Structure 1
Amino acid sequence: MKIEVLHSEDRNVFDALVAGLRLHRNENMGDEDTKPLSVVARDDAGNIIGGVTGRSIYKNFLIEVVWVDKAARGTGLGRQLMEQAEEQAKQRGCLVAQLDTLSFQAPQFYQKLGFEVVGTVPEFAGSPARYFMLKKYQ
C-alpha cells in the first residue's frame, strides 16, 4: 500500500472516490436516481442574475448553490427561485429539501421559507458559523 498527499485537484481521483462511494451507497440503498435541478433568472441581455441549483436523490432535494445578484437582492427574486425549485422537487417525489449556509449569507432567508436549522458548526477564528438546514414537505 502507498498513501499519497495531493496538493492539486485531480479529476481522476475525485471520480474514483465518487464511484466507490456510489457503489457503497447503492449496496445499502438501492440504485441511485439522481437528477440535476436548476432554476435560473436572466436579465434582458441573457445574463444570469440569480438561481438555485442542486439535485434530487433518494426523495431529497439537495440544494447546492443559491445566488442572487446584488442588484436584484431584496426584490423577491430569491423567494421566487426557491419556490419554483422546490415545486419541481416535490413533483419529482422529494419529501425534504436540505442545504447549508454560512452565518453571513442567508440563514434567516431560508428560515422565512420554512427551513429549520438541524445542525451547526460554530464560528471560529477565520471562519463564520455554518448552518445545516432542512425543510420537510409533508
Structure 2
Amino acid sequence: MADVEVSEIANPIDIECIESGVLSYGRAQAHGGNARSIFALVRDGGILVAGACGRTEYRRLFVSSLWVAEAMRKQGLGRRTLEALEGEAVARGCQDSLLDTLLQENVEFYRRCGYNVVASVPKYVGQFTRTILVKQFACREAESAA
C-alpha cells in the first residue's frame, strides 16, 4: 500500500510533479483552450522594476500577478504594465481580462484601470476579502468600423 507523507517542506521536484499533473489533467478535460503564457516586463537600466504575468486562453486574459518595485510605485508603471499585457491579449483575440486580489487598495487601482468587481469572498484568508474583477475589452470589429 502507498504511504502518505505530510510535511511543511516538500521537494521542488515533487511540487512540480503535483502541479503539472493537475494542469495536465485539467488541460485534457478542456479542449480548445490553447493556453499561452504572457508576460510584460519593465526594466530601468537593465533592472526589473515592474512586471505582470498570466496566460491567454478561451479568448480571455488571466492575470496572475502584477508587481511594481516599491521605489517605483505611484509613477504609472502598474497601469502601463497592465495595459501592455492587455494590448498583447487583445492582439491574441481576447475579449476580456480576469484577475483577483486580496487587498482593497488593489481593488481601487483595478477599478481605475477599467475592471469591475464580479465576486468577492469575505474572510478568504484571515480578514482579507478575495475580490475577483473582470474588464471587457473593446470589440476590435467595432473599432475598425469606426
Q: 1:122 matched to which residue of 2?
A: 122
> 1:80 — aligned with what?
80
Q: Is the 8 A contact 2:40 2:52 kept in 1?
A: yes
| 1:41-76 CA-partner distances (Å, limit 9, x unpaired) | 1111x1110011111111010001000011111101
Secondary structure of 2:123 counterpart: coil
Report the number of matched residues: 133
1:38 aligns with 2:43: no
Aligned with 1:24 (options 15, 24, 29): 29
Q: Letter of the aligned partner of 1:22 in structure 2? A: R
1:12 has 2:14 as partner: no
Gaps of 5+ in 1: none
Taking structure 2 as the reference length, the TM-score comes to 0.81
Question: How big is the shift at 1:14?
Answer: 2.2
Partner of 2:58: 58
- Give the aligned partner of residue 100 of structure 1: 100
- Please list every run of 5 or more consecutive structure 2 residues that lacks an aligned counterpart in the other structure: 139-146
- The alpha-carbon deviation at position 85 of structure 1 amounts to 1.1
**Percentage identity across aligned positions?**
29
TM-score in terms of structure 1 length: 0.86
* Whole-Å separation in 2 of the counterparts to 1:53 and 1:83: 12
CA distance in 1, matches of 2:6, 2:124: 26
CA RMSD after TM alignment: 2.1
> Structure 1 residues 2-11 or 61-70, which shifts more?
2-11
Structure 1 residues 47 and 125, CA, compared in 2 at 3 Å: closer, same or farther? closer
Partners of 2:85 and 2:128 lie apart in 1 by: 27
Q: Is the 8 A contact 2:124 2:130 kept in 1?
A: no
